[in-house]
Structure 1
């Protein structure tokens, strides 16, 4: 099978939203057996998909890779018979929308065993799900050529009958960065982001004792800002103040780049650049749609890196009862990552935004656009054409807690 990376496709974390993905163009490598397929999976997505089902479309006689769907594995086994046809139909329809229906499919299931269990146990537990998926794909004339379970550092094949190639006890995965796909990805400059869980962790709220103090400050700032945002004049002034604050924070994040080698160290550095008061004012101010849209213009050139770090850091400050406020920050993080060409990070951030608030319209629109492989320049023009353009109206948005309906404030 040959990998030909094509236009972007989309979605991420353990959200209910299936996700397609791909890697940048120009890389090409032939994969000839289950071992090479298993080792290639993280490079097809840009990260290792913990607790995930991944389905890959195949095209042509040589099995050229097409669209990829990633979704969390449903915990309820009784839902699998209804779930499998939906995944098969999604893969088929999304591929046809790009001009060619799949000639076949690959299935990957990635899950670690619980306490007292083994990778083989995981493989056997998920076997009925694989059978449902194979049946659903077959009904759409997309035969599944290989189905692999990756667990506990091994892969298990549901399709290969040869015990010399795929023994029942599984086959150890090769060391990281040693496969043919790893070499091709490195040559093509394809970034790797570790695991899905690690990527999500960079966007999740900080825990105690940090969170308690941030929540207290959020309560205090909310009591001061919310009454001001009830009037048109007050809302405009809060918008001006918020954008000025974001501008100062952007300058700070541009000047102070992290030097730590690890993601944890880098995030800790960025957390130290924000006071509780600054974080609270920015988080609450960005709940206004027009403010958010103006802030979304920091997404080009030298702004991309600092903006992504800032939105991540602010998302981590949405603690306690303010977790829902993270939808705006996660969407901004997804947007700036997509604008900067980091599609895997964009899909993780947008997936988390939709997990936080499934009705958040801005995240829905960006998520769909990213999945459809649209050029972010088109969205950029919409954002710059005026307030509310992504919704087709120019109405003001009231702060949370003051709106007539929940949907108005969470767009």
Structure 2
């Protein structure tokens, strides 16, 4: 099986052939050990508590589409999950370029309290079997099925004790394999574990969370009447954008240690509870959020991403659903900057916060389809240019076609449901 680094990224996207990108490093994976070692580089992070499925295409056995979902905790859900993920991956591959010739699946889960890695492998074996049967029912064989737990792997398709001992086989030490060397040469990196990335976007806990929820309550009491009143809505929007820009400048002037373990703590300390509350509620307005989405490149991207992550962490308690807006913006800035793995995680979390959040739905689909974000970047640049030209236009002149008007319906806070996003 061969992987080409030009295509590693978007779920469901066919792999690029060597003739399409002759300068891109390629590597052939010949064993379960090499497959297990390659998984984090295929995804961009170490999957935790995850089912990962990758299609194999063509005579060369090139990797194509990929899919990652959490492993259901209840075994009663395994059969339905197996059917759904097999159908999603195989039908999606058929729509994009042809039926897969095979599938490689990975079950990645660390032991629970008091559980051994070998017990994890045994416990998940029935799930692996259901996945193999579901793929086989669609005439696509599972070529390899691996369980990865606590730094070891097992193959569910191999019955030999010589090559697959009962205690499992240790994974290669990080950075020592051919795959690691090739990925380094190609400029690819593994961004920690799935849990690491999700934790950076998770709500705060403890005393800070209680104080933040109180601030959100105060802000909602003050802002909701203004947002519902058309006469003051534009004033609230202008205040929200001015505050966001001020906080981005604050973060630019106070950068954390690059890659340091306390970078998020640093950003949290820069953001007051009342400031965060006002911004979180203001971003529930669809047009304000769309303007904020324009800060996705050049010098604006880094402080914007830090701000959206910090705001997502402030959506605590009863305001968890409000996180859909900052999480979607964090996903968009990550995707626009080329960090597709982090983008997909942020967008998935946005949909977990609010499954009906339309902007997150559209971006998640586009990112997973491998669509170039430049089209949306271009639209946002053009909209920003039109708005800036409109501000410079003398009073009394006609508005240009397509300009947003003040009486257009806007998004109200999350507690007023039913508005378009």
Question: TM exceeds 0.5?
Answer: yes
Matched, 1:407 2:418: yes
Structure 1 residue 140, shift from structure 2 partner: 2.2
Structure 1 residue 233, shift from structure 2 partner: 2.0
Structure 1 residue 221, shift from structure 2 partner: 1.7
Distance 1:172 1:134, change over 3 A: same
Task: Give the corresponding residue for 2:38.
Answer: 40
Task: Give the corresponding residue for 2:50.
Answer: 52
CA contact (8 A) 1:8 1:343 kept: no
Task: Give the corresponding residue for 1:5.
Answer: 5
Of 259, 262, 265, the residue aligned with 2:262 is 265
Structure 1 residue 255, shift from structure 2 partner: 2.3
Task: Give the corresponding residue for 1:176.
Answer: 174
Q: Distance in 2 between matches of 1:138 and 1:152?
A: 29
Structure 1 residue 32, shift from structure 2 partner: 1.2
Q: Distance in 2 between matches of 1:20 and 1:194?
A: 23
Task: Give the corresponding residue for 1:397.
Answer: 410
1:221-236 residue pairs with structure 2 within 5 A? Answer: 221-236=219-234
Task: Give the corresponding residue for 2:398.
Answer: none
Alignment partner of 2:228: what SS? Answer: coil
Write out per-residue CA displacement over residues 15-65 of structure 1, whole angstroms, 9 at most, x where no aligned residue.
xxxx87999x72311111111111111111000110000000001223111
Of 322, 326, 344, the residue aligned with 2:323 is 326
Matched, 1:240 2:238: yes
Of 348, 351, 354, the residue aligned with 1:354 is 351
Matched, 1:280 2:286: no
Of 367, 371, 375, the residue aligned with 2:372 is 375
Structure 1 residue 256, shift from structure 2 partner: 2.0
Structure 1 residue 383, shift from structure 2 partner: 4.3
Unaligned runs of 5+ in 1: 12-18
Distance 1:135 1:193, change over 3 A: same
Q: Distance in 1 between matches of 2:318 and 2:280?
A: 13
Q: Distance in 2 between matches of 1:97 and 1:395?
A: 37
CA contact (8 A) 2:14 2:96 kept: no
Of 279, 290, 293, the residue aligned with 1:293 is 290
Task: Give the corresponding residue for 2:126.
Answer: 128
Kindly indicate whether structure 1 or structure 2 has the higher relative contact order, using CA contacts under 8 Å at least 6 residues apart.
1
Task: Give the corresponding residue for 1:200.
Answer: 198
CA contact (8 A) 1:311 1:330 kept: yes
Write out per-residue CA displacement over residues 172-211 of structure 1, whole angstroms, 9 at most, x where no aligned residue.
1111121211111111111211100010000011111111
Q: Distance in 2 between matches of 1:41 and 1:323?
A: 32
Unaligned runs of 5+ in 2: 385-401
CA contact (8 A) 1:45 1:344 kept: yes
Structure 1 residue 399, shift from structure 2 partner: 1.7
Write out per-residue CA displacement over residues 241-290 of structure 1, whole angstroms, 9 at most, x where no aligned residue.
1111111112222222211543x311111112211221111111111000
Structure 1 residue 79, shift from structure 2 partner: 2.2
CA contact (8 A) 2:109 2:120 kept: yes
